[in-house]
Amino acid sequence: MKINIWEMTFLVCMVVSFVIRIPYDSKYRKNTFTDNRKTNLEKFLLAAVGIGMMLIPLIYIFSRVFDFANYSGESWMGFLGVGAFLSGIYFFAKSHADLGLNWSPTLQIREKHSLVTVGVYKYIRHPMYSSIWLWAIAQAFLLQNWIAGFSGIVAFGLMYFLRVPQEEKMMLDHFGEEYRGYMKQTGRVFPRIW
């Protein structure tokens, strides 16, 4: 088994993403939540993302199971994938740092939860989702396989389109007009240009 430079880059970036999340995950576990909207659908979506963005790529990289779906891409695709993943890592780290104790992997409002509108959140309501979209796009460019490369886009796309409306409803329920005003000033995953 020989791992190419793009696959190695994918693995390194994936590990860096996990390392970024470790301190926030340990702080999250100490929080007390006043609103918990974790459902079976959300558990399924999180599992699907884990399968599509981690398990399938790892199986592809360390075995030959999906080799029948390989394709030969241009080298610019790998460089584009590296750029996308590095940008994603930046947004991932920055959004965690800006959220601080307000971060939760599921739909929850903690005690003393505050609406974060500084840092990257000044421009984008969901920069962590932006970072994961960049990861999924990078996966498609770095893993030149129709299954492993695109499983991240499919899995995260499903989660994004089903979860974000629920998350924004929770924020509106909790913060009301403050969040509604914030929505008018920011883009969902890209900065508002006009």
Q: How do the domains of the chain map onto residue ranges?
A: 57-103+114-194
- Integer Cα distance of 88 and 110 in angstroms: 26
**What pLDDT does 194 receive?**
57
Copy the structure tokens of residue 67: 């080799």
- Helical H runs in 125-176? 127-142, 151-175
Mean residue pLDDT across the chain:
92
Q: What percent of the chain has pLDDT over 90?
A: 74
At 101-160, the pLDDT tens digits run 888 888 888 888 899 999 999 999 999 999 999 999 999 999 999 999 999 999 999 999
Q: Is 70 helix (H, G, I), strand (E, B) or coil?
A: strand
**What pLDDT does 110 receive?**
82
Buried (b) or exposed (e) across 149-167, using 16+ Cβ within 10 A? bbbbbebbeebbeebeeeb
Task: Count CA within 13 A, CB hemisphere, residue 24.
Answer: 19
Q: Which CATH architecture fits 57-103+114-194?
A: Up-down Bundle (1.20)
Q: Is the confidence at residue 59, as pLDDT, over 90?
A: yes
For residue 40, give the nearest of 107, 93, 124 by alpha carbon: 107
- Integer Cα distance of 21 and 50 in angstroms: 15
**What pLDDT does 36 receive?**
80
More confident residue, 30 or 94: 94
